[in-house]
Structure 1
Amino acid sequence: MLGNFKRILAMATGSLLLAACQVIPGAEAPRPDAGGPVVEQPRVPDQAVLPDDEGRHRVALLVPMSGSNADVGQSIANATTMALLDTGAENLRITTYDTSAGAGAAASRAINDGNRLILGPLQRDNVGPVLAQARPDDVPLITFSNDTTVARSDVFVMGHIPEQSVVRTINFAIDQGASRFAILAPRGDYGNRTTAAAEQVIMARGGTVVDVQRYDRGNTSIISAADRLSTAGGFDTVLIADNARLAAMAAPRLKNAGDSLPSIIGTELWSRQDTLLSAGAMRGAWFSAVPDDRYRQFANSYESRFGEQPYRIATLGYDAVLLTLRLTRDWRPGTDLPAGLLTTDGGFLGLDGPIRFQTNGVGERAMEVRQIGNGAFTVVDPAPSGF
């Protein structure tokens, strides 16, 4: 399995000019005086004590390393360490800054330490405070958030965007003959975003939105909302824009197990949710997500190093390092990141497949369509290999 992981990373680097990659399971971090990767652990750095880096790019990783999201932040930080070791990167110094005590303060320390690129923050609410510190010094952000509202010409959204998953699945469903849609979505930001994206693409493709039912998350109101949809009828496809547990609760109210119609479609929240495989009414349902084959191998390599499985979002940290290495081909250490490097038309290839940033900062991803089957997920429409 690890051998396959090596070959995949090597192919990725060759096809999109990433730095050469070699997986080193369980490798120890090289000593700074040995000329290998430099991995800085979370602390409160001070420019006066950091060594001069004439040949290395200083890059800041801003994630929560304490508090309620500390495990997620640690998983991302571990993944960046993996990427440095796997690629043998000698031209990067990545320093981790804890955003839990204040994202703005962490960004200020990162800027004072001479970092010219920020990977992070994780949460959208932290983007504003970080940007306030970074923008005056022309330091761009590659945030792990999936909220497109924070995207700017100097804020690049790297997270898996739910609207893109919805659009991909609905386009596939229409190609299969779907035309009359119902939408079942929670109240709140996620439901608003997915509903708006669904309505827009359905109308653009000449389909009809027959009904939209909203509900409060965290209780059984999704069942009542599904009953209202079922009573009204008139649709051939239902988007359930929620997690696997709630989708499995609603599906039996919309169709019987074994019925082909209405078709049920979902979002990226269903990825790697094996509980869906035992829900009879969910059989045949479609959803879209980034390709998952590289993640499985990444997760095995991660566990061999750190003794536990990573959070799914950890691949963003790994891919951010691969992306940064690609940028260093045209970026001189100690200088500002040249404008336009992040918005190359061909994009970049990582563990989560191809991604390219638009000039407005939104990351566009290639997603595959999966179908829920009897005990397994099947890819029914592969992700494009590039843009």
Structure 2
Amino acid sequence: MAEEQARGQGPARRNMLSKWLTVGTLALLAACQVVPKGRPGPVAPPPTATRPEPVGPSLPTDKERHRVALLAPLTGPNAGVGTSISNAANLAVMDTGGTKIRVTMYDTATGAAAAAQRAIAEGNRVILGPLLAEDVRIVAPIARAAKVPLIAFSNDAGVAGNGTYVMGYSPGQSINRVIDYAKSKGVTKFAGLVPIGLYGQRSSTALLRAVESSGGQVVSVQTFDRSAGSMKAAIVKMNAASPYQAVLIADSGRVALTAVPLIRAGGGRSAQILGTELWNTEAGIAASPALKNAWFASVSDGLYNQLAAKYRSRYGKSPYRLASLGYDAVLLVTKIAADWRVGTPFPQSALTDAGGFSGIDGAFRFNREGIAERALEVQQAGPGGFTVISPAPRGF
């Protein structure tokens, strides 16, 4: 079953469980049982024939299910996305029946270290989360000392390794995919507009590597601090360089809406506009004339749209796009649990199965560095929304 431990925030909230979903079978996602919001209590039958024994201050021993912790910000400024992830994880437990795993939620907003310590003390053998890279850095050594692996929701590749696995959407993979697609359409000269900061640094490196490996040329990469003056100055410098056929705007779609008219007014009048996975969270930008025919690579939304509909039905509001990470993390652990004996350590080697896993966001697998490699599609913006112009591969 799924439980929530909101430490210091009031009584624990409980969510319900139901039947298994095989990802890729679309009919099941729509057909899964949905229990009205606010009705507590487990659906899956509790273990029988044994009396539970305490393993911590509040949780009993479960003789038939594996204990899995989910760490996310359930209060504070990031509570919206954290709650979306945890609620989607509850839906996944419901869909898979909850016969193999018991998921307990811990609030990192009140202290990531304390949440991790509590999760380990209460017998959890694997941790899903945290969300923020800074929290992953705090939790990782605590979990490592207890030999409990982390499957984090961060997209910061820098926190991966040594028992920490990163599920978040990597800008590097998105950039590599859209550059490869552009190259297949005859684009060889690229420019880049990237924000100052870690995301921009990694995007710039990814752009240079992707273009080099495709046999193309990067004629200019300019940075900006998101102020209007800084962006304008960066675009002026970029347009003053050698002519380019495509420009990558490694920032949100709303930033791109401001940048594109400035690019068109200078040397990039006919340049192909490229974006990153960040655009997939902003469907409203597709109809803007400024981004007409722009390309970006991201995970597929096919199954996510069904998950979002079910989420709205149960919780009465739309989820954040990152909610699928919580759902897919539960699917992953449930799959591994089929061959994982209760009471033994989590079989960490199963995470690096070369065949990978399938989820709401499509096929993915963890590489040797602990970073999720994803099968991405290329989408194009237009008046009717985002349309797929290059489908994601079905596997590896």
> What is the TM-score normalised by the length of structure 1?
0.89
| C-alpha separation in 1, matches of 2:85 and 2:46 | 21
| C-alpha separation in 2, matches of 1:130 and 1:115 | 14
Contact 1:58 1:93 in 2 (8 A): yes
Aligned to 1:40: none
| C-alpha separation in 2, matches of 1:278 and 1:151 | 37
Aligned to 2:15: none
Aligned to 1:163: 172
Q: Mapping of 1:188-227 within 5 angstroms?
A: 188-227=197-236
Match of 1:267 among 272, 276, 279: 276
Task: Give the fraction of aligned pairs with identical amino acids, expressed as a percent.
Answer: 46
The reply on whether 1:128 has 2:155 as its aligned counterpart is no
Q: Secondary structure at the match of 2:110?
A: coil
Q: For the structure 1 residues 140 and 255, does the alpha-carbon distance in structure 2 shift closer, same or farther, using more than 3 Å as the test?
A: same
| C-alpha separation in 2, matches of 1:13 and 1:275 | 28
The reply on whether 1:35 has 2:45 as its aligned counterpart is yes
- TM-fit CA distance, 1:342: 0.5
Q: For the structure 1 residues 368 and 150, does the alpha-carbon distance in structure 2 shift closer, same or farther, using more than 3 Å as the test?
A: same
| C-alpha separation in 2, matches of 1:170 and 1:34 | 47
| C-alpha separation in 1, matches of 2:100 and 2:170 | 31
| C-alpha separation in 1, matches of 2:131 and 2:137 | 12
Q: How many residues are paired up? A: 368
- TM-fit CA distance, 1:352: 0.6
Match of 2:311 among 265, 282, 302: 302
Aligned to 2:24: 12
Aligned to 2:160: 151
Q: For the structure 1 residues 286 and 127, does the alpha-carbon distance in structure 2 shift closer, same or farther, using more than 3 Å as the test?
A: same
- TM-fit CA distance, 1:275: 3.7
Contact 1:167 1:198 in 2 (8 A): yes
Q: Secondary structure at the match of 1:379?
A: strand
Contact 1:9 1:22 in 2 (8 A): no
Match of 2:89 among 80, 100, 123: 80
Contact 1:315 1:352 in 2 (8 A): yes
Q: For the structure 1 residues 251 and 383, does the alpha-carbon distance in structure 2 shift closer, same or farther, using more than 3 Å as the test?
A: same
Whichever residue aligns with residue 319 of structure 2, its letter is P
Could you report, residue by residue, the CA deviation over 1:45-70 in whole angstroms, capped at 9, with x for unpaired residues? 97143222111100111111221112
- TM-fit CA distance, 1:376: 2.3
Contact 2:23 2:359 in 1 (8 A): no
| C-alpha separation in 1, matches of 2:195 and 2:23 | 41
Q: Mapping of 1:315-326 within 5 angstroms?
A: 315-326=324-335
- TM-fit CA distance, 1:27: 5.5
Contact 2:288 2:383 in 1 (8 A): no
The reply on whether 1:89 has 2:98 as its aligned counterpart is yes
Contact 2:126 2:149 in 1 (8 A): yes
Whichever residue aligns with residue 10 of structure 1, its letter is T
The reply on whether 1:364 has 2:370 as its aligned counterpart is no
Aligned to 2:62: 53
Q: For the structure 1 residues 216 and 20, does the alpha-carbon distance in structure 2 shift closer, same or farther, using more than 3 Å as the test?
A: closer
Whichever residue aligns with residue 24 of structure 2, its letter is A
The reply on whether 1:328 has 2:337 as its aligned counterpart is yes
Q: For the structure 1 residues 339 and 77, does the alpha-carbon distance in structure 2 shift closer, same or farther, using more than 3 Å as the test?
A: closer
Q: Secondary structure at the match of 1:271?
A: helix
| C-alpha separation in 2, matches of 1:11 and 1:96 | 23
Whichever residue aligns with residue 105 of structure 1, its letter is A
Contact 2:192 2:204 in 1 (8 A): yes
> What is the Cα-based RMSD across aligned positions, in Å?
2.5
Whichever residue aligns with residue 301 of structure 2, its letter is D
- TM-fit CA distance, 1:233: 4.2
Q: For the structure 1 residues 372 and 275, does the alpha-carbon distance in structure 2 shift closer, same or farther, using more than 3 Å as the test?
A: same
Q: For the structure 1 residues 143 and 288, does the alpha-carbon distance in structure 2 shift closer, same or farther, using more than 3 Å as the test?
A: same
Gaps of 5+ in 2: 1-17, 48-53
The reply on whether 1:110 has 2:119 as its aligned counterpart is yes
Contact 1:63 1:73 in 2 (8 A): yes
| C-alpha separation in 2, matches of 1:36 and 1:30 | 15
Gaps of 5+ in 1: 1-5, 38-44
| C-alpha separation in 2, matches of 1:237 and 1:88 | 48
